[in-house]
Amino acid sequence: VRLHSHDVRYGSGSGQQSVTGVAAADDGNSYWRVRGRTAAVCERGTPVRCGQAIRLTHLGTGRNLHSHHFASPLSGNQEVSAFGEAGEGDYLDDWTVVCSGTYWSRDSEVRFQHTSTDVFLSVTGEQYGRPIHGQKEVHGMAASSQNNYWKVMEGIFMQPSEVFKSEQYHAEL
C-alpha cells in the first residue's frame, strides 16, 4: 500500500490528522517530502544516510508524519498521525531511516523507526469503515517485520550538490 493522508482527523486518540494506507497507484494524497530532522538544515539533493533522522512532510496538507503514545484506533498499536502546520511540528516528527549500505537508495526497501518511541512505521490488514472506508491502518509496531518495509514508488530525484560530489570523490587530505 501507499502511505496516505488527508485532512480527516481521528475520532479517538490524539484527534490529529489520520495517516492510512491505500492501494491506488494514482492517489494524489500519497506524496511526501523527505526533509531533515526537526531543527536541522538539510540541503536539497543531499543523499540520506542509513541511520539518519528525517521528517516526512505530507505535500497536500503540510503536516509531518508523527507518532506518540496514543493507541491506534483499530489494532491498539501505537498511533501514527500527521501533525504540525506548514511543515513545522516537533521532535515527535523525527524518524530514523533503517536501511543497508551507506545511503538510502531510491530503489531499495527501507524501514522508518520513530526516534522517540522506537516503533517501526507499519501497515497490516486492519481496514477502516466510514469516512475512510477500505483504507488500511498505519501504526507503530515495536518489532520489525515484513509489515514495515517501505519503498519509494515515484517522485523527484535531486542530484547531489557539487559539494557532496567533491567530498565523495576527494582523494587528498
Q: Write down the pTM of the prediction.
A: 0.88
Averaged pLDDT score across all residues of the chain: 89
Decide: 96 and 116 in contact? Cβ < 8 Å: no
C-alpha span between 31 and 24 (Å, rounded) = 12
Instruction: Please list, in sequence order, all residues whose beta carbon lies within 8 angstroms of the beta carbon of residue 88, skipping any fewer than 6 positions away.
Output: none
Least confident of 84-93, 107-116, 154-163: 154-163
Q: Which CATH number, 3.10.20.30, 3.40.50.300, 2.80.10.50, 1.10.1510.10, labels domain 1-167?
A: 2.80.10.50
Query: Comparing C-alpha atoms, which of 91, 90, 22, 96 is closest to residue 53?
Result: 96
pLDDT at 162 over 60: no
Q: Which range scores top for mean pLDDT: 5-14, 30-39, 56-65, 157-166?
A: 56-65
- CA 58 – CA 34 distance, rounded (Å): 9
Contact 80, 16 (CB under 8 A): no
Break the chain into its structural domains and give their ranges. 1-167
pLDDT at 170 over 60: no
Which sign, positive or negative, has the C-alpha torsion 70, 73, 75, 80?
negative
pLDDT attached to residue 172:
43
CA distance 67 to 13: 11
- Tell me: pLDDT of 19 over 50: yes
Place of cell 477500505: 134
Task: Tell me what pLDDT residue 130 has.
Answer: 82
